[in-house]
Amino acid sequence: MANFDYDVLVIGSGPGGYVAAIRAAQLGLKTACAESRETLGGTCLNVGCIPSKALLHASELFEEASSGALAKFGIDVQGASLNLDQMHAEKAKAVKELTGGIEYLFKKNKVEWLKGSAAFESANSVRVGERTVTAKNIIIATGSSVTPLLGVEVDNGGGVIVDSTGALALPKVPGHLIVIGGGVIGLELGSVWMRLGAKVTVVEYLDEILPGMDGEVRKEAAKIFKKQGFAIRTGTKVTGAKTANSKATLTVEPAGGGAAEWIEGDAVLVSIGRRPNTDGLALDKAGLQVNAKGQIETDHDFRTSVPGIWAIGDVIPGPMLAHKAEDEGIACAENIAGLTGIVNHDVIPSVVYTHPEIAGVGLTEEQAREKSAEVKIGKFPFMANSRAKTNRDTDGFVKVIADAKSDRVLGVWMIGSLAGTMIAEAALAMEFGATSEDIAYTCHAHPTHSEALKEAAMAVQGKPIHI
Ligand code: FAD
Ligand code: NAI
């Protein structure tokens, strides 16, 4: 039998890769993880989830302190001002602590970090930097990068047109930020800079923002964002960009064709999606191919078409979310160790961390109706939830979608200030195959926002109490 350097080599240390490596090591497998970045944690910890949430939190505090919104609670704040350098420094501190934490966990679990870029030499051997290593199992967890937009060139090194990485580090608040793409990144980072004082225009190709989410939630979100001050131009495409004198001029046209116009901004954020990272991996040397979208296809157990090579996270089909990558990492390592690792891809929650937050799990109403005509819907507005009313923060609603015959919950969608936390209960209920009645008869603490989920479940049967 061949001798390998490692039982498992993971390529990429994002939430998919680092979690897979730690689980493999916990299961007694000799494990290494190759990472080309200076720090561990991938997109999520370095230039994604964590720094964006740090800025969302800090900008929300700034807006609260500076907008006069606290006055109605009897709190008069005078002279609140922005120290953007300090805001960035605190964000960097959070990132450093968390990426350092992964390094600590690698040491604790005896996962070896191979520093450098990895490329296949064969199905079992990989070149990492100057070294070639062999492994019985290789997990590809190389994640994704920003999708470029033809004619709109990104320059994160101080240029006017940036992608999410540049938009997380703008040295000053732009007078006018133009966001290309009304998806998750555009709305989260657009919110950050709007709260800090920028005028924000979102240019979205489709007729509505937030594709993939429940239709009613998308409409409500657009209404709320417009009320907050976002200028949202749907059904509009960007066909070119010019930069001069620290400004950018975008050429835009109606998506269906028509007369061009020009929009000038002090900064432009390109956020039209992400694409899988496979360039430079030399997949052909391992006998692997990508699909039409550039993704690596796997079976239900995360096996690729080549025995001994596995793939997880953003580089495979499915939503590009950190928690999906993490769960796949655990399941994949367990499958390699001979256990039964499963991810239920029907129950992956997604959250947009704007204010209010937007969250969903399972089928949207549109998807549920397409699958079956017999769907029951229960909705409950935060306007009628006592805690939301007490906090003077009543935007949004909770919506439960259930099968009319079995009452089984098919999906839950919500928009509200704590939606991102509340969605966990819906995911747990669905994982256990709950009916709307199960949620309705579960005792929920009072006064909490979560009571809105209970009432939405009661509304499926037409019997909420408070509306
Ligand atoms: P990644 O995190 O992309 O990690 C892959 C790693 O592999 C990288 O570190 C890369 O350097 C390394 N790598 C690539 N190729 C090689 C190679 N050849 N050799 C060695 N190393 C290599 N998701 C959420 O769930 N919640 C959020 O709030 C959220 N916010 C986000 C905000 C932003 C601005 C962005 C950009 C993304 C956000 N995401 C969020 C998405 C999330 O970051 C990704 O879904 C997640 O990081 C995917 O994990 P992964 O392990 O598949 O890959
Ligand atoms: P996205 O897919 O969420 O949104 C991209 C938007 O751009 C879509 O609305 C699309 O219709 C639009 N678009 C595409 N081409 C366009 C064009 N030429 N002109 C104008 N609009 C165009 O992608 P986004 O926001 O870049 O995020 C990438 C990924 O990162 C997402 O898949 C998401 O899952 C992940 N992410 C997750 C977060 C979270 O979980 N809170 C936060 C940030 C990112």
Nearest CA to ligand 2 atom 26: 273
| Ligand 2 touching residue 313 (CB < 6 A) | no
Q: Which ligand has the nearest atom to the CA of 12? A: 1
pLDDT digits (tens, 9 = 90+) for 385-434: 999 999 999 999 999 999 999 999 999 999 999 999 999 999 999 999 99
Give the confidence band of 2 by pLDDT, cuts at 50, 70, 90. confident
279 and 386 belong to one structural domain: no
| Ligand 1 touching residue 15 (CB < 6 A) | yes
332 and 369 belong to one structural domain: no
- What's the 272 CA to ligand 2 centre distance in angstroms? 5
Task: Report how far apart, in Å, the C-alpha atoms of 184 and of each of 3, 49, 350 are.
Answer: 46, 11, 10
pLDDT digits (tens, 9 = 90+) for 310-350: 999 999 999 999 999 999 999 999 999 999 999 999 999 99
User: Is residue 42 in a domain?
Assistant: yes
pLDDT digits (tens, 9 = 90+) for 69-101: 999 999 999 999 999 999 999 999 999 999 999
- What's the 267 CA to ligand 1 centre distance in angstroms? 24
131 and 220 belong to one structural domain: no
Query: Do residues 332 and 310 touch, judged by C-beta distance below 8 A?
Result: yes
Mutation test of ligand 2: which of 274, 293, 314, 351 has the most ligand atoms closer than 8 Å to its C-beta?
274
On the 0-12 / 13-18 / 19+ scale of CB atoms within 10 A, 285 is middle
Phi, psi of 327 (to 5 degrees): -65, -35
pLDDT digits (tens, 9 = 90+) for 60-77: 999 999 999 999 999 999
Task: Choose among 238, 208, 212, 21: nearest CA to 108.
Answer: 21
Q: Angle 84-109/15-26 helices, nearest 10 degrees? A: 30
Q: Which ligand has the nearest atom to the CA of 11? A: 1
Average pLDDT score over the chain: 97
- What's the 261 CA to ligand 2 centre distance in angstroms? 23
Boundary (domain end) residue, out of 250, 272, 294: 272
Phi, psi of 199 (to 5 degrees): -80, 135
pLDDT digits (tens, 9 = 90+) for 148-199: 999 999 999 999 999 999 999 999 999 999 999 999 999 999 999 999 999 9
pLDDT digits (tens, 9 = 90+) for 349-358: 999 999 999 9
User: Is residue 423 in a domain?
Assistant: yes
> Of the listed 300, 345, 446, 466, which one is catalytic?
446
330 and 357 belong to one structural domain: no
Cβ–Cβ contacts within 10 Å for residue 30, how many?
Answer: 17
- What's the 276 CA to ligand 2 centre distance in angstroms? 14
Nearest CA to ligand 2 atom 32: 320
pLDDT value at 106 more than 70: yes
| Ligand 2 touching residue 349 (CB < 6 A) | no
| Ligand 2 touching residue 160 (CB < 6 A) | no
User: Is residue 467 in a domain?
Assistant: no
Gap between the Cα atoms of 145 and 143, Å rounded? 7
Tokens found for residue 352 = 């947009």
Sheet hosting strand 161-162, strand order edge to edge: 161-162, 267-270, 176-180, 199-203, 231-233
415 and 438 belong to one structural domain: yes
Q: Which ligand has the nearest atom to the CA of 233? A: 2
| Ligand 2 touching residue 272 (CB < 6 A) | yes
393 and 280 belong to one structural domain: no
Domain that holds residue 396: 350-460
- What's the 440 CA to ligand 2 centre distance in angstroms? 34
Beta carbons within 8 Å of 133's beta carbon, 6+ residues apart: 5, 6, 9, 32, 114, 125, 126
Beta carbons within 8 Å of 113's beta carbon, 6+ residues apart: 13, 32, 33, 35, 40, 103, 106
21 and 140 belong to one structural domain: yes
pLDDT value at 373 more than 80: no
CA atoms within 13 A of residue 236's CA, in its CB half-sphere: 25
16 and 135 belong to one structural domain: yes
Q: Which residue has the tokens 């709307």?
A: 436
Annotated catalytic, 466?
Answer: no
10 and 37 belong to one structural domain: yes
User: Is residue 255 in a domain?
Assistant: yes
Query: Do residues 410 and 350 touch, judged by C-beta distance below 8 A?
Result: no
Give the confidence band of 369 by pLDDT, cuts at 50, 70, 90. very high
Tokens found for residue 232 = 């949202």
Nearest CA to ligand 1 atom 29: 49
